[in-house]
Structure 1
Amino acid sequence: MMKRQKGKGLLCVLLAGIVTFTGCSAGGAENPGTGNEEQGSGSTYNFRLAETHPADYPTTKGDMKFAELVKEKSGGRITIDVFPSAQLGEEKSAIEQVQLGAIEFTRVSTGPMAEFNKDFGVFSLPYIFNDDNHVWKFLQSDGGTKLLDSLESSGLKGLTYYSSGSRSFYSTKPLTKLEDLKGMKIRVIENKLNIEIMKALGANATPMAYGEVYSALQTGIIDAAENNYPSYYSSKHFEIAKNYILDGHQRVPEVLLVSKQVWDTLSPEDQAIVKEAAVESTAFQREEWAKYEKESEEQVRAGGAVITEISDADAWKNAVKPVIEKYRSEYGEILDAIEQAKAE
């Protein structure tokens, strides 16, 4: 405990020169002397939002729309500066700083969120969503809201979800059906679940850093990898692994977070402004993602990639049933809510 407090104090000292939002140890005290009390409009705040992706990426554009809406709805009292390209740290570091209140907001993938709230691990399970429409039916249902609310026990407040499409396989070898994966060496993110998924599909999982994938595909160390359309394009993996099959095995959304410490210092009126702006920014971010995804698809097709739609989704789902059942006791309630959303 002493070690944690010491680290927290050091973080405040290091940030003191750049954080305009005072009260680091309190994680959200109002900025004294900058309020608009004379206009009767409440306190003035200047917050920061940590973003991993570059300024032109759809999630960053969503962050900026959120900041714009907050400023507009608060009459300029609440401003949020967005820091793209991991200027304030990569996702795990950003989450930890938001927990402390050292950074007020961040946008992260729900993937690393499982380390802070185990329920978010459900999004790594394969083929639990039929399509993007099914994803959003769940995210905008009571089940999706309940999942966001559960973050409060981790020192975080979930504000809204953002889109990140679906992950599919691409290979240097022909890839048009499930059987083609048999024996393939496929790069995966290093975690137990992804390794189990590859085994269930008949492939050999090869954990590897993302930055090493291009050369590994080029030299034959791996046969395949998996990701969404924009990453397939921006990484230039399509130049080598020209066979892309749209199996959509994982759909891992993004989440916009605020520090629970900071949230609790805001008035109910300001909390409503922040929440409303976050929810409204979602539609804009989804539109930006859809455009970015379409542009990426057009580019990889123009670059000679062979795109295959899967003809039998049930075959892929049946192959990974043992993986789903293994984790059903852990995620049963959420999986039921996801299944219910499909029928709505």
Structure 2
Amino acid sequence: MTRTTKPRLILASLVSGVICGLGLWVTQASAETTLRLAHASSPDSLINKAIEKFAAEVADTTKGSVKIQIFPNAQLGDEGPIADGVGAGAIDIGLGGAVDAIDPRLNVLSLPFLFRDADNVHKFLDSEQGQKVQRLGEDRGYLMLGVLDSGFRQFATSKAIVTPADLAGVKIRTPPNPVILATMKELGALAESIPFGQVYTALQSHVVAAVEPEMRDYYDSKWYEVVKNLSISNYIWTANWWYMNKDKFETLTPDEQAAVKKSASDTVAWYRSELTATYAETQKKLEAKGVTVTTVDTTPFVALVKPVYDKFSSEWGADLVSAVKQAATSN
């Protein structure tokens, strides 16, 4: 061996070692997956607390091979754009009530007076029919991880709502949900689809005289400062659908997929367990702010909304609406 050959061999060995080290680093780096999760709820909401729990459990169960990066408060867009983003693969996981991109038939669970209470909702979601509904978006590339309650919607005005006549001709703010709009029409109210962030001003300036909020939104957004009567009707239940890009899910290893599904299931159970206490606490806070909370006899309201069921039976299929209604009634 010549003097020049030995240094070359040493250098080649060093280079080889560096390349092997880089290869190992690249392999380790590629083994870590970061999933972008977006929702429109505030950072201090129960929704975000649930998602933080989910992220921690996924990281722990996968030993860090899957990490969840959370974007709350509509940082990546409102609920509609989030659903579009997950479908396109720009966002990995989303939550929200906007379902047009996933499957409009998911709105079947928002039919008026479909559910009695939260326990009724949860039993339905866990039933065979509930699981069928949650699979509706799979042919469009969405995998449902679970459903978190957005909650029952109520009536809030300057006076208590006792009968449907109290809503007749009343301008009421609603989200642009087709079921809610159709329901308000049958109840005689004049629905106005005003963006969430503009509701307080709309109430204050009398553009609308009422809202139909979920109780936590009513409190968090301080709408009680303008309309101080909350009439508990549970007239519609709405969901925070929790979904993932199906192709992205399938890039995970079988163990990682199982960890994501298990963590989501655990989070749904935890979230449900927190709801009763959360609503009780919220009602106490509202009453302390001078809000009058009453309970509505819904019998005369239910009698008016049959045309809503007829309308969406035509749009979504009578078999689907009938099966969901039957399953909800039997739970």
Q: Same fold (TM over 0.5)?
A: yes
**How far does residue 322 in structure 1 lie from its aligned partner after superposition?**
1.4
Q: Distance in 1 between matches of 2:110 and 2:29?
A: 44
Normalising by structure 1, what TM-score?
A: 0.82
Q: Would the alpha carbon gap of residues 208 and 87 (structure 1) be closer, same or farther in structure 2, given more than 3 Å must change?
A: closer
Aligned residue number for residue 99 of structure 2: 113
Aligned residue number for residue 342 of structure 1: 329
- 3-state SS of paired residue (2:27): coil
What value does the CA root-mean-square deviation take over the aligned residues?
Answer: 2.1
- 3-state SS of paired residue (1:34): helix
Among candidates 272, 297, 304, match of residue 319 of structure 1: 304
Q: Distance in 2 between matches of 1:207 and 1:101?
A: 29
Question: 1:48 touches 1:83 (CA, 8 Å); kept in 2?
Answer: yes
Aligned residue number for residue 154 of structure 1: 140
Letter in 2 for 1:325: D
- 3-state SS of paired residue (2:67): strand
Aligned residue number for residue 221 of structure 1: 207
Indicate yes or no: 2:21 matched with 1:33: no
- 3-state SS of paired residue (1:54): coil
Question: 2:87 touches 2:101 (CA, 8 Å); kept in 1?
Answer: no
Among candidates 34, 53, 59, match of residue 65 of structure 1: 53
Question: 1:172 touches 1:217 (CA, 8 Å); kept in 2?
Answer: no
Q: Which has the larger radius of gyration?
A: 2
Deviations 1:261-315 (A, max 9, x none): 111212222211111111111111223443433322111111111111123x222
Q: Distance in 1 between matches of 2:307 and 2:265?
A: 36
Gaps of 5+ in 2: 1-24
Question: 1:165 touches 1:253 (CA, 8 Å); kept in 2?
Answer: yes
Question: 1:189 touches 1:208 (CA, 8 Å); kept in 2?
Answer: yes
Gaps of 5+ in 1: 1-30, 37-42
Q: Distance in 1 between matches of 2:82 and 2:330?
A: 36
**How far does residue 154 in structure 1 lie from its aligned partner after superposition?**
1.4
Q: Would the alpha carbon gap of residues 118 and 190 (structure 1) be closer, same or farther in structure 2, given more than 3 Å must change?
A: closer
Letter in 2 for 1:145: Q
Aligned residue number for residue 63 of structure 2: 75
Indicate yes or no: 2:74 matched with 1:101: no
Indicate yes or no: 2:168 matched with 1:168: no
**How far does residue 162 in structure 1 lie from its aligned partner after superposition?**
0.8
Normalising by structure 2, what TM-score?
A: 0.85
Deviations 1:151-179 (A, max 9, x none): 11111111111122200111013423332
- 3-state SS of paired residue (2:212): strand
Aligned residue number for residue 230 of structure 2: 244
Question: 1:59 touches 1:107 (CA, 8 Å); kept in 2?
Answer: no
Letter in 2 for 1:65: K
Indicate yes or no: 2:56 matched with 1:56: no
Indicate yes or no: 2:32 matched with 1:44: yes
Q: Distance in 1 between matches of 2:202 and 2:115?
A: 30
Q: Distance in 1 between matches of 2:50 and 2:319?
A: 30
Q: Distance in 1 between matches of 2:178 and 2:65?
A: 46
- 3-state SS of paired residue (2:294): strand
Question: 2:38 touches 2:93 (CA, 8 Å); kept in 1?
Answer: yes
Deviations 1:16-67 (A, max 9, x none): xxxxxxxxxxxxxxx952269xxxxxx3322221121122111111111111
